[in-house]
Amino acid sequence: MLQPSVKVPFLELKIHPENQFRQEFIEGSAIDPKLFESTIEIVNDLVTNLAGDVATPIHDALNWRYTRFGLNATPNQWAALFLNEDGSCWQAKLYTPRKNLKKGTFQKYETPVGQGAQAFFPKIPKALWQPISDRYQVPLPAENQSFWDWIRQNSEIPIVITEGGKKALSLLSQGYVGIALYGVNGGYRTTETIGGEKLPLLHPILIPDLIPFMESDRPVILAFDQDANGSTRSKVQKALSKFGLLLEKQGCRVKVAQWDSQAGLCKGVDDLLVQAGTAAWEIAYDQAISLQYWLLQNRLEHEFTRQPNQIVQTAQLSTLFNQATPGSIGSVNNCLPQEGIVVLRSPKGTEKTKLLALATRHTNQVITLTHLISLGRNLADRLDGTFRNDLDFGGGYVFDKSTAQVANINRLTACVAGLGWFAQRIDNYIGCDLVLDEAVQVARTLLTSSTCNTDGGRPALLAIFEQLVRNANRVLCADADFDDATIEWIESIRNEKAWILVNHYRPTPYPTKIIDSRDRSAAIADIVATGKTLEKGTALWVATDSKGLAKTLKELLEANLGSGAVIAIHSESVGGSVERALLRDPNGQIPALVAQGVKVFIGSPSISTGVSIEVQDIFKIVYGLFTGVSLLDTDMLQQLSRIRQPVERRIWCVEKGLRYAKASKALTASQFKRDLKQRTSTTVLIARSSLSSAALEQMEAYNWESNPHLTLYANFGATQNRAMVNLRSQLVTRLKMAGHSIEIIQPPPNSEMRNLMTELRAAVKQRDAEAIWKAASLTYAEKLALDEKQKTGEALSPEERLAIQRFQICEFYVIPPEELTLEDVLNDRNGRAQIELRRLEEFLHPELATSTTTHSIETQVQQGAPFTPWDFSNAETRNLVFHNLGLSDFIHNAIAGGKWYMSDLEQIAQKLLQYRKDLEIYLGYRVSTKISITQLVHQLCTQIGITFTRHRQRKDKKVLSFYTLNQADFDRKMAILSRRQADREKYSQLNSATEQFPIHQGGIQEFLPPPGSASNLDEKPIDSREVPATDLEQNSIETLASTSEFSEEADLDSTSTSIST
């Protein structure tokens, strides 16, 4: 085994070229002497034999033409020829390198002219076959067989692909099968020569040399140079990505070997073997990561590429305030710029908020923006300010309702959803410090959250935000996951470059167990078992991305651990007194609550960021249960990091998420933007005759190329889609990149726990429905007052939330409050039935769809700010798509009493496949080839609340299925729509319509089918609940809203944000 050594600078030695090459290869690149003798030939370029004949071996090997004034042969030129097994020259290294006049550099290696990209297959001495045979337990072949034929025929032998002949020879010398390429992009071709003309290929292809080896599940390890130069490394990574994917497509299992280049000392694998020893290479080989993980890691590492102005490495940023050592950061006030954009990129738990508080403590006016109402008071306390929602004006004074003291309105913390409060006060804060703590979350909430688009008001909020950013003397931004896109967004608003501080500190890693199980039942059973064995004074923390799961889990744990043993924090509970106190002062409240008997704390997205829980020795384990319905992988890490102590994490996460972006499923920001532009252009074209001239002019002038909000929105959307495609893999990759140790465990699913959770989920839904049914009945004035309270960003109490839900159900279904039944509440399905009914209403009355679309555009026009086209309604577009697919006629035929067989869907099926990309863009629906055309049609019809009944009949000794409208379900829905229409007509006569669309004067009887049904048939109501979960994952949240698999998790936390919200 090789031991680390010091590399000798051979080119400086005054020795014969032949000896110099020998030392360079054998000692300098760890090449076995027998292999060197077998495959390397040292030649002079001018050789004269006894007969006086002159030969030029280098020219001949490299296919150079020997001319008097061209490449002249000289007795002073020597070369080491790399010979293939068949004796042909693969490459040559010249003793005196030629100068590349174009690049201005010396060319160390020469390739035979006209040879093209080839792999290196040297002649291997028999003595080196045995170590490979021993390493991989593969018998040696017959005496007369070629080494490379033996490798080709044994696909279980891993192949290491590298760049450069010396590197491959060094690997072969250590008992590894190394194949060399001329460079990282030398393994594939992107052009072909036809008739002497080089033409680009439609897709890159592997070079022919490699194809015979890259089959039958062959393990392949890519071991290319670890370049330190940033631009070179980026080019290598792009080529390696392309090459690796081609190998995977060929059927190989591809991994990527990585090692520390030690500032270039161990750049290549031969350098690593010589400088660090065989053990260093064996570690790199054994720890090689899969290509997919490498691609994820590579992409995630490139989310932030900005050059920082200041680099620090500290666990506590706030301590930098007291440092004054020359050359160090010194006082923060002296180091941080006193104006402009200041960006702090620092890991979780490194006191970013404390640093912001210190940096602004002497500033007269400070506005701090947060994305969650639940975090507002906590942040206000930490930055010595007042939460804007707690302001109380009266008697000429402004009070802080939470403290009953006079409020300091110069230091305010506000939720971005309540930015409207600043509209008339914007000039009062010119020259302030604007603080964006958790800046990426703030940006995402502002651009994507439905709470920021109440009454179509997102453009107005963005305009206010822009003015605050421009008016501020200094914009202080902090985030652990700061990316280039968010920084550029802020820079584009202020039209100046940011000053960036990066903290390279890595927090103490925590041991992590990834629970790789088909469902979460095993993880939940583990939580219950651990909870039962907790010692007094200890507790568990459970992070989840689903409010529905948080509520069901609370029910389960209290049944096992006792009443009051669990606190669940989600959007419905944050208004409670205990939960509000906990969020405001977690480090003071948690020990007290644990002392009172609380054993488990469950955190939903309401507590994914902004809360730093620094209590010690209370939490035994932090669990993560992630179902893929709301959070991205970055948000999951934020949730897991709320507990700062590095205790064990146990995580269950679905493989793929469901929360794709609504506007597009594109994986790149540029394609996302193109899809959104196409969707918007179609929407405006369809509604053109109903839009005002102002709307058309503003849409015509919209800047699709450089609007900063659109650019960041598209980036967020593409990021979200990529996360959903590889949710678990991205989460694990980020955990590894953060330095956490990963252990994969594979417990079997727990069927008993799964069944119990199903029963409890139904019980929770029943209890929630009863709570809404029994809630207080609000008057219209009381409802408006609560609406205003919500608009300011104030958290409602649980009782107020229930009362609002009751009011909304009564209002939508036109049910007198005193006549509301529990069945009405259950049928609402937490508001999802309202979405389907409104779409059905717009389908049956197209003028309502036109009005809905027009209103969503005109509302933005009235705000006098640039459009946010992703908020435009697609109601009218949906109707047009249904018509062009033939679904409109199909549905109207079903409504009229028609029946249909699967064979009747042939034309619709062809159109679904033909326009599958358009369906993604316009309806957010992905056509799956894994399910039947019947299921596809049912999924699309369920979007507008149309369901069907399956019938079976015997014909010619065969059982055939045909389908009719689910008449009972349709009649129930039409009765609701009839009430809604009558309600609109009544209010129309009073000139006080309560809904946003014009009044439809026609009746609905024309849509009702004739009476009668085939009661003697075997009937089974069907809808998209028959679709397997694996296929449901491919569809949009809107399509999935009515499916049972999604419904169990669709009770999302309203404070979570994503583009599909």
User: Partners of 405 in the beta sheet?
Assistant: 400
Identify the weakest region by mean pLDDT among 351-360, 481-490, 744-753, 1022-1031: 1022-1031
Tell me: do 1037 and 893 sit in the same domain: yes
Alpha-carbon distances, residue 686 vs 114, 679, 881 (angstroms): 58, 11, 11
How far is CA 918 from its chain centroid?
Answer: 23
User: Partners of 320 in the beta sheet?
Assistant: none
Whole-number pLDDT of residue 893: 93
Report how far apart the first and last C-alpha atoms of the chain are (Å, whole number).
Answer: 59
Tell me: do 909 and 839 sit in the same domain: yes
Provide the pLDDT confidence category of residue 404 given band limits of 50, 70 and 90. Answer: low
pLDDT at 1049 over 90: no
User: Which of helix, strand or coil describes residue 72?
Assistant: coil
Identify the weakest region by mean pLDDT among 249-253, 290-294, 732-736, 791-795: 791-795
Q: Is residue 1052 part of a domain?
A: no
Q: What is the mean pLDDT of residues 359-383?
A: 86
Q: Enumerate long-range contacts of 938-941, CB under 8 Å, 24 or more apart.
A: 938/1022, 938/1023, 938/1024, 938/1026, 939/1024, 939/1027, 939/1035, 939/1039, 940/882, 940/885, 940/887, 940/1039, 941/887, 941/891
Q: What percent of the chain has pLDDT over 70?
A: 86
Q: Is residue 780 part of a domain?
A: no
Q: Using only the alpha carbons of the chain, give its radius of gyration.
A: 34
Q: What is the mean pLDDT of residues 20-40?
A: 93
Alpha-carbon distances, residue 450 vs 194, 456, 723, 832, 1058 (angstroms): 56, 9, 21, 15, 9
Identify the weakest region by mean pLDDT among 152-156, 230-234, 802-806, 1054-1058: 1054-1058
State whether the Cα torsion 355-357-360-366 is positive or negative: positive
Whole-number pLDDT of residue 72: 55
Whole-number pLDDT of residue 387: 86
Alpha-carbon distances, residue 968 vs 76, 160, 166 (angstroms): 97, 65, 77
Q: What is the mean pLDDT of residues 947-974?
A: 89
Identify the weakest region by mean pLDDT among 321-330, 570-579, 932-941: 321-330
- CATH number of the domain bearing residue 736: 3.40.50.300
Whole-number pLDDT of residue 1054: 40
Whole-number pLDDT of residue 231: 67
Tell me: do 105 and 166 sit in the same domain: yes
* CA-angle at 523, arms to 521 and 529, nearest 5°: 100
pLDDT at 988 over 70: yes
Longest dimension (CA), the chain: 119
Identify the weakest region by mean pLDDT among 63-72, 273-282, 765-774, 932-941: 63-72
Alpha-carbon distances, residue 884 vs 627, 889, 912 (angstroms): 35, 10, 10
Q: Is residue 664 part of a domain?
A: no
Residue-number span of the structural domain to which 752 is assigned: 512-656+726-756
Which residues fall within 8 angstroms of residue 338, CB to CB, at 6 or more apart?
Answer: 473, 474
Q: Is residue 199 part of a domain?
A: yes
Tell me: do 593 and 738 sit in the same domain: yes
pLDDT at 373 over 80: no
One-character DSSP codes across 111-179: --TT--S--B-B---GGGHHHHHHHHT-----TTS-HHHHHHH-TTS-EEEEESHHHHHHHHHTT--EE
The CA distance from 131 to 1, in Å, is 12
Tell me: do 831 and 957 sit in the same domain: yes
Identify the weakest region by mean pLDDT among 57-71, 420-434, 570-584, 951-965: 57-71
Q: Is residue 648 part of a domain?
A: yes
The CA distance from 758 to 654, in Å, is 18
The CA distance from 211 to 754, in Å, is 47
Q: Judge contact between 1040 and 1050, C-beta under 8 A.
A: yes
Alpha-carbon distances, residue 1009 vs 891, 951, 974 (angstroms): 12, 18, 11
User: Which of helix, strand or coil describes residue 747?
Assistant: coil
State whether the Cα torsion 444-445-446-448 is positive or negative: positive
Q: What is the mean pLDDT of residues 398-404?
A: 63
The CA distance from 423 to 865, in Å, is 13
In the DSSP assignment, the letter for residue 900 is B
Q: Is residue 17 part of a domain?
A: yes
The CA distance from 494 to 507, in Å, is 33
Whole-number pLDDT of residue 401: 62
How many C-beta atoms surround the C-beta of residue 698 within 10 A? 18
pLDDT, the chain, mean: 85
pLDDT at 4 over 50: no
- Tokens 């701090």 -> residue: 368
Provide the pLDDT confidence category of residue 992 given band limits of 50, 70 and 90. Answer: very low
Which tokens hold the place of 301?
């590492």
Phi, psi torsion values for 383, nearest 5 degrees:
-105, 20
Condensed to tens digits (0 to 9), the pLDDT of residues 467-482 reads: 999 999 999 999 998 9
Tell me: do 264 and 292 sit in the same domain: yes
Condensed to tens digits (0 to 9), the pLDDT of residues 258-288 reads: 998 887 789 999 999 999 999 999 999 999 9
What pairing do the DSSP bridges indicate for beta strands 619-626 and 648-653? Answer: parallel
State whether the Cα torsion 299-301-302-304 is positive or negative: positive
Whole-number pLDDT of residue 926: 85
28, 26, 38: which is closest to 7 by C-alpha? Answer: 28
The CA distance from 504 to 489, in Å, is 24
Q: Enumerate long-range contacts of 421-427, CB under 8 Å, 24 or more apart.
A: 421/388, 421/792, 422/367, 422/464, 422/468, 423/460, 423/464, 426/464, 426/467, 426/468, 426/471, 427/471
Which residues fall within 8 angstroms of residue 1060, CB to CB, at 6 or more apart?
Answer: 659, 660, 661, 662, 720, 924, 1036, 1037, 1038
Give the end of a domain, one of 478, 503, 528: 503
User: Which of helix, strand or coil describes residue 280?
Assistant: helix
How many residues are listed for the chain in this entry?
1061
Condensed to tens digits (0 to 9), the pLDDT of residues 537-561 reads: 999 999 999 999 999 999 999 999 9
The CA distance from 531 to 527, in Å, is 6
Q: Is residue 406 part of a domain?
A: yes
Whole-number pLDDT of residue 604: 87
Q: Judge contact between 385 and 368, C-beta under 8 A.
A: yes
Provide the pLDDT confidence category of residue 230 given band limits of 50, 70 and 90. Answer: low
Tell me: do 916 and 1037 sit in the same domain: yes
Whole-number pLDDT of residue 993: 38
Which residues fall within 8 angstroms of residue 602, CB to CB, at 6 or more apart?
Answer: 542, 544, 550, 553, 554, 566, 567, 568, 569, 570
40, 51, 126, 50: which is closest to 78 by C-alpha? Answer: 40
Pure H helices in 327-413: 332-335, 352-359, 373-382
pLDDT at 389 over 90: no
pTM of the model: 0.82
The CA distance from 722 to 247, in Å, is 22
Pure H helices in 862-966: 875-885, 887-895, 906-914, 916-923, 933-943
Q: What is the mean pLDDT of residues 568-597?
A: 89
Tell me: do 967 and 996 sit in the same domain: yes
Q: What is the mean pLDDT of residues 872-901?
A: 93
Q: Is residue 4 part of a domain?
A: no
Whole-number pLDDT of residue 320: 75
Condensed to tens digits (0 to 9), the pLDDT of residues 448-460 reads: 998 899 889 999 9
The CA distance from 358 to 346, in Å, is 16
Q: Judge contact between 894 and 946, C-beta under 8 A.
A: yes
Identify the weakest region by mean pLDDT among 72-76, 826-830, 1020-1024: 1020-1024
The CA distance from 247 to 389, in Å, is 58
Whole-number pLDDT of residue 695: 93
The CA distance from 693 to 695, in Å, is 5
Whole-number pLDDT of residue 675: 94
Identify the weakest region by mean pLDDT among 484-488, 668-672, 949-953: 949-953
503, 441, 459, 498: which is closest to 475 by C-alpha? Answer: 498
Tell me: do 492 and 573 sit in the same domain: no
Residue type for position 701: A
Whole-number pLDDT of residue 966: 95
The CA distance from 527 to 559, in Å, is 13
Phi, psi torsion values for 215, nearest 5 degrees:
-140, 175
Q: Which residue has the higher pLDDT, 238 or 589?
A: 589
Tell me: do 226 and 78 sit in the same domain: yes
Tell me: do 375 and 431 sit in the same domain: yes
Provide the pLDDT confidence category of residue 12 given band limits of 50, 70 and 90. Answer: very low
Give the count of domains, the chain.
4
Condensed to tens digits (0 to 9), the pLDDT of residues 902-919 reads: 888 888 988 988 898 889
Which tokens hold the place of 948?
């069907």
Tell me: do 164 and 186 sit in the same domain: yes
Q: Judge contact between 224 and 240, C-beta under 8 A.
A: yes
Q: What is the mean pLDDT of residues 618-644?
A: 92
Whole-number pLDDT of residue 987: 77
Which tokens hold the place of 590?
């948690």
pLDDT at 792 over 70: no
User: Partners of 197 in the beta sheet?
Assistant: 194
Q: What is the mean pLDDT of residues 836-864?
A: 93
Give the end of a domain, one of 503, 524, 555: 503
Condensed to tens digits (0 to 9), the pLDDT of residues 665-679 reads: 999 999 999 999 999
Phi, psi torsion values for 418, nearest 5 degrees:
-105, 25
